[in-house]
Amino acid sequence: MYPKETFILTGIFLILLLILVTIRNLRSKDYTLFFWFCEISPIILSIGFLTENIQLIKSVINIGLFPQIVSLVFLTIAVLFKQDVSVFKGIRKKGKLYITVSYLLHLFSVILAFILTSSFRATRISLVYSFIILSIVFTLSILFTPAHRNINFVQNLDFLNFKHRFYKYFWIAKSFILIVIPTYYLQNYLTSLLG
DSSP characters over 44-104 = HHHHHHHHT-HHHHHHHHHHHHHHHHHHHHHHHHHHHS----GGGTTGGGG-HHHHHHHHH
The rounded distance, in Å, linking the Cα atoms of 88 and 81 is: 12
Residues 155-192 have pLDDT tens digits of: 877 655 666 777 889 999 999 999 999 999 999 999 99
The rounded distance, in Å, linking the Cα atoms of 73 and 56 is: 26
24 pLDDT above the threshold of 70: yes
Q: What is the DSSP letter of 157?
A: B
**Beta partners for residue 157, in sequence order:** 162
The rounded distance, in Å, linking the Cα atoms of 74 and 95 is: 17
Distances (CA, A) of 108 to 81, 121, 136, 140: 22, 21, 23, 24
pLDDT of amino acid 162: 60
Short-list 22, 62, 64, 58, CA closest to 41? 64
pLDDT of amino acid 160: 58
Please provide residue 69's backbone torsions phi and psi, each rounded to the nearest 5 degrees. -65, -45
1 pLDDT above the threshold of 70: no
Contact (CB, 8 A) for 131 and 174: no
The rounded distance, in Å, linking the Cα atoms of 65 and 70 is: 9
pLDDT of amino acid 158: 63
Residues 84-143 have pLDDT tens digits of: 877 888 888 899 999 999 999 999 999 999 999 999 999 999 999 999 999 999 999 999
Q: Model pTM? A: 0.92
Least confident of 23-32, 45-54, 68-77, 85-94: 85-94
